[in-house]
Chains A and B, each alone.
Chain A
Amino acid sequence: MLEGVLMSMEIRGSMRLIAGLGFASFSAMLTAAEKAVPWQLNMTTGATKIAGEVHDLHMLMFYICCAIGVAVFGAMFWSMFRHRKSRGVTPAQFSHSTTAEVIWTVVPIAILVAMAIPATKTLINMSDSSGTTMTVKITGYQWKWRYDYVEEKVGFVSSLDAKSNEIRRPFSGKDPNAHENYLLDVDKELVLPINTKIRLLITADDVIHSWWVPALGWKRDAIPGFVNEAWTMIDTPGIYRGQCAELCGKDHGFMPIVVRAVNKEDYSTWLADQRGTDTDLRYVQQGKTPAVALTAP
């Protein structure tokens, strides 16, 4: 069915495109940021305050660039229209103006300062991981993620779901359009409570990976031998999907991330169900903590 929809999208391309753009941008604003919608044009405001701040910064930058672009390209098109030999004009011969150079050096610097202030504020905010009430350690492997709720002695591996895994085999001939969450689904989700400031410790076992869920508003590299720290506080319950964002070998595109954000009671229930179900709790059972350099905020 989806195949038919997509085929007709190709056939009546431009109409679909226009309708799709309108629908996509509208719906991207309304729905939470579970995952991309077809023809999506822009990042979403996400499921956290930080993601919203990042979105707003992004839009601010975008509007400023649009304004500058309109001015510069407008001048160019005007000039190409008016100042052409075929109109019989005589070329001017002016070749420099120190005043102009000063103006168009100083004004852009002022614009940049105006951009840098909110950007600095948001970055300082994102770097402040004080006040977290729980910690999850995330380890990147070739080619899956492992999540350890370090205080809870719960840990498990999260891999690409079986249905995607079957479809993605090279030359499988199977149709990805039959699977809506193709390459964005896992066999075991990372479950997190909403309205809780959560510390995430991110590392890797083999090569560099990167943990990215767009709805949370950031990504952080997972580097073997080092632990990176990040934090998140999810406002809205829902399912948020992401992918590995650092080339890590042949299955870099096949190790997605799924976060299920639930209210605190549901989280407690889920956590209780997890205890003792995973036998491979290396670090926690042995009482070891990763002996690495924590990156300071």
Chain B
Amino acid sequence: MSAETSTYGHAHDHDDHDHKPKGFLDRWLFTTNHKDIGTLYLVFALVMFFIGGSMAMVIRAELFQPGLQLVHPEFFNQMTTMHALVMIFGAVMPAWVGLANWMIPMMIGAPDMALPRMNNWSFWIMPFAFAILLSTLFMSSGGPAGGWTLYPPLSLQGGNSTAFVIFAIHLMGFSSIMGAINVIATILNMRAPGMNLLNMPIFVWTWLITAFLLILVMPVLAGAVTMLLTDKFFGTSFFNAAGGGDPVMFQHIFWFFGHPEVYILILPAFGVVSEIIPTFSRKPLFGYSAMVYATASIAFLSFIVWAHHMFTVGMPLGAELFFMYSTMLIAVPTGVKIFNWVSTMWKGAMTFETPMLFAISFVILFTIGGFSGLMLAIVPADYQYHDTYFVVAHFHYVLVTGAVFALMAATYYWLPKWSGNMYSERWGKIHFWNTMISANVLFFPQHFLGLAGMPRRIPDYNIAFTGFNQISSIGGFWFGLSQLIFVGVIIHCVYRSKQKATSQVWEGAKGLEWTLPSPAPHHTFQTPPTIDYTKLAHGVH
């Protein structure tokens, strides 16, 4: 394959690897460059994070006190639904794709992704998809209000805006599937000679596995929402018992997508943490092959646990037992990863720059989310936890203090490579501490609320639940405000920072990306590098 050439009325100079397209549209709308596409995804994800975050602020503001002071219940339900759709499909998933785009080619010594033009389309679908999704909030029938899980019959009670939501989801699915194909093709075909599957960076491994999950499950979601579409508009009865269908079948189909989906949200995070902790411990990742096998096991097991989201629907005893056991089992490879990270830290020589702070707090707080997950796996106990704030606490621990913290860690870690400048370590730490503490103030009390009996997706509650709701809301506002620091740090780093970054950036960093200049030139590894095995994080075993 050939590297991208730009033709702008003059001959392309092969030595000028930093040559970027000149016009704005040429640079951004027509880009086929993995670095620029990575930047587009990351900026898009950050904007969506704030949009989804504003919806969370509306939710927490209404829940600050019992009584309905701010919004109607119908709008509240739109906020909870859209908050999740935006965060999952608009913030976290695109952010991981952005990181994949930026880092995978550089990490494996490839000049770009395997399919650069498809890569462009994968990104540009997203702003359109989200314009469509968000526009439903302004339609007369309002936005979707049946939860991001879209259970029928409730989700079919929405108005015509339902069609737009389904269309937007289809568009996002196309984007994800095309992106995943690109990732797999790149990793399997474009590694530099000498970079084999068992010495490539662990982040690349986690993305390889994630890409397979995406290809396998996004079509399932497409099927599920298409059946919703035909039930609503074309007279089918897939989910309507009166017509011979089954509302619970939707749940099976949705969660068959939905459970691997949450692993799609977290596996790249595992990869990022596995890159960062060795760097700042100045010690190799403990158990590289075990980490690969554990990630693969988690991905495999993720296909046989889906009904743990449905323990209360009335499944037969045998099914409930099977899913309880399989769900408990998935704790084992996850635990292996935790132990391996701790062993990486152990007897290292650690320093605690901002990426390391986020990575370490990921390990601790994601583990807490894992504990509540293990408790949820126990069916009789789940009968009390299901659809309460205990579940809300669990998934926010694994998604916010898990996935989002890993995304922040990755941003701090690689921003010097992308921009050529060091970010302000002082403000990075201020962002970290505010974010970490406020996230716990926000989500920890929700465990208590769930155990005390507060259901989820309610805009109002009995006065007994006031105390912890107030604490949670205060944490929420604090968390939201703290993210402005993050934006400030990024903008300052890219545009104002006077502190130049070296190629190496971090003393303990290993891997091909750290052999490149900072900022990485627009085109890198136009010819495959000669692999120096001492420079890889995982040497030849």
What is the interface of chain A, defined by CB distance below 8 A to chain B? 2, 6, 9-10, 17, 20, 35-43, 50, 53-54, 57-58, 61-62, 65, 68-69, 72-73, 75-76, 79-80, 83-86, 89-97, 100-101, 104-105, 108-109, 112, 115-116, 119-120, 122-124, 126-127, 167-172, 174-177, 179-184, 206-208, 210, 212, 214, 217-221, 223-226, 228-229, 242-254, 292, 295-297
Contact = CB atoms under 8 A, between A and B. Distances in A.
A210 B488 CA distance: 45
Interface in B225-245: 240-242
Nearest to B68: A170
A224 B241 contact: yes
B381 interface: yes
Interface string B367-391: 1100100110011110110111000
A36 B72 contact: no
B342 A75 contact: yes
A210 B312 contact: yes
Given A247-B146, A250-B74, A176 B67 contact: yes
A126 B378 CA distance: 13
Given A36-B454, A40-B451, A54-B384, A84 B375 contact: no
B348 A108 contact: no
DSSP class of B's interface residues: helix, strand, loop or mixed? helix
Contact of B73 (A53, A127, A251): A251
Contacts of B367: 69, 72-73
Interface string B311-346: 011111100110011001101100110110011011
Interface of B: 65-69, 71-74, 77, 145-147, 151, 153-154, 157, 240-242, 246-248, 281-290, 312-317, 320-321, 324-325, 328-329, 331-332, 335-336, 338-339, 342-343, 345-352, 360, 363-364, 367-368, 371, 374-375, 378-381, 383-384, 386-388, 448, 451-468, 470
Contact of A123 (B312, B380, B384, B452): B380
Contact of B349 (A2, A89, A218, A292): A89
A295 B154 contact: no
11 contacts: A38-B467, A39-B448, A43-B451, A172-B67, A176-B65, A176-B66, A184-B462, A210-B312, A225-B247, A245-B386, A247-B154
A97 B287 contact: yes
DSSP class of A's interface residues: helix, strand, loop or mixed? mixed
Given A36-B465, A69-B368, A174-B67, A226 B317 contact: no
A126 B380 CA distance: 8
A204 B510 CA distance: 59
A281 B371 CA distance: 47
A297 B319 CA distance: 11
A94 B315 CA distance: 48
A214 B453 contact: yes
Contacts of A40: 448, 451-453, 464
A76 B247 contact: no
